[in-house]
Structure 1
């Protein structure tokens, strides 16, 4: 399974989504941009997408929803460690209130992994993210058995947030 992402103006992204109603494409807004996410076993319908292989998955990505994408640049040596650590994060989150889905996305053509989580709303995501047991905010996750830090990151991680637009009644 692969995930493809592209960004653009809301109008243009809506047009692309409307042209491909037979494909599972999510439209989301956040941080002043609009993003389309296409999850498929086939080829992308986008002209120049960011490409990812899904290496960890739980649940179904749906609309409406709140999406958090933790973007983490990982060294080649650190990729197996990183994937092992986060591959089953969705199963660990399954009983968290508001949790919907998870994808661990291995980059194709770059070094930046994406940990994508979907929640029913921002408030429940924030409660989880700020909780003591959250692996994504735990700075001790990549220590070896002796307590030494393993240096597997090539730059500081960053998080982007998106929400699927809801039609007003």
Structure 2
């Protein structure tokens, strides 16, 4: 399935969402920007396009979104995607977890691991859990050596879902 995102002012994106009631459009409010996210059909003039590699859970109009943006080498794409397809699934059992999407970019090399949490505390609890440490023990933020498929530093972007 395809995913499309675009940036803009909250008012502009809210009006765009109202213009397309037939489509689920999620508004993600960050500290200094707003993103509109939709799955399926592209309704945006200037969209960043992705394909869903793996997913679990249902997106909702409320919650806390964390996007882990990970640049991946061309030759490392299969390895990166397989790693997520084979993941243990411990995140799904975390209190406050709502959904995850592994997004492959149609253009560029930066994958997005999007997670939706009930609230900030749920994400922080996951990040400080033993399950997180185990899932990231060989290639997480604390690792000295990055996996061969990594093409540059990863970074987080955080948002709140808004209606």
Inter-partner Cα distance in structure 2 for 1:90 and 1:131? 15
Partner Cα separation in structure 2 for residue 87 and residue 35 of structure 1: 26
Q: Using the TM superposition, name which of 148-157 and 31-40 deviates more.
A: 148-157
- C-alpha displacement at 1:135, in angstroms? 6.1
> Alpha-carbon deviation of 1:161?
0.5
TM-score (norm 1): 0.86
With normalisation by structure 2, the TM-score equals: 0.89
Equivalent residues of 2:91, 2:131 under 8 A apart: no
Partner SS, residue 61 of structure 2: coil
In the alignment, does 2:151 pair up with 1:154? yes
- Residue of structure 1 aligned with 2:57, choices 56, 59, 63: 59
Report the alpha carbon displacement of residue 138 of structure 1 after superposing the two structures with TM. Answer: 2.7
CA distance 1:54–1:129, shift in 2 (3 Å): same
CA contact (8 A) 2:91 2:126 kept: no
The equivalent of 1:78 in structure 2 is: 76
**Aligned residues of 1:67 and 1:116 also touching (Cα < 8 A):** yes
Regions of 4+ moved over 2 Å: 87-92, 130-133, 135-139
3-state SS, counterpart of residue 106 of structure 1: strand
Q: Find the counterpart in structure 1 of residue 136 from structure 2.
A: 138
Residue-pair matches, total: 159
User: 1:6 corresponds to which residue?
Assistant: 6
| Unaligned ranges ≥5, structure 1 | 143-147
Distance 1:93 1:139, change over 3 A: closer
The equivalent of 2:30 in structure 1 is 30
Separation in structure 1 between the aligned mates of residue 134 and residue 7 of structure 2, nearest angstrom: 25
Looking at structure 2, the residues matched to 91 and 101 of structure 1 have their Cα atoms a distance apart, in angstroms, of: 11
Q: CA deviation at 1:86?
A: 1.4
Where in structure 2 are there 5+ consecutive unaligned residues? none
* C-alpha distance after superposition, 1:29-63 (max 9, x if no partner): 013101100011xx300001110000101011011
- The CA distance in 2 between the partners of 1:117 and 1:3, in whole Å, is 14
Identify if the C-alpha distance between structure 1 residues 136 and 46 changes in structure 2 by more than 3 Å, giving closer, same or farther.
farther
Q: How far apart are the structure 1 equivalents of 2:134 and 2:26?
A: 24
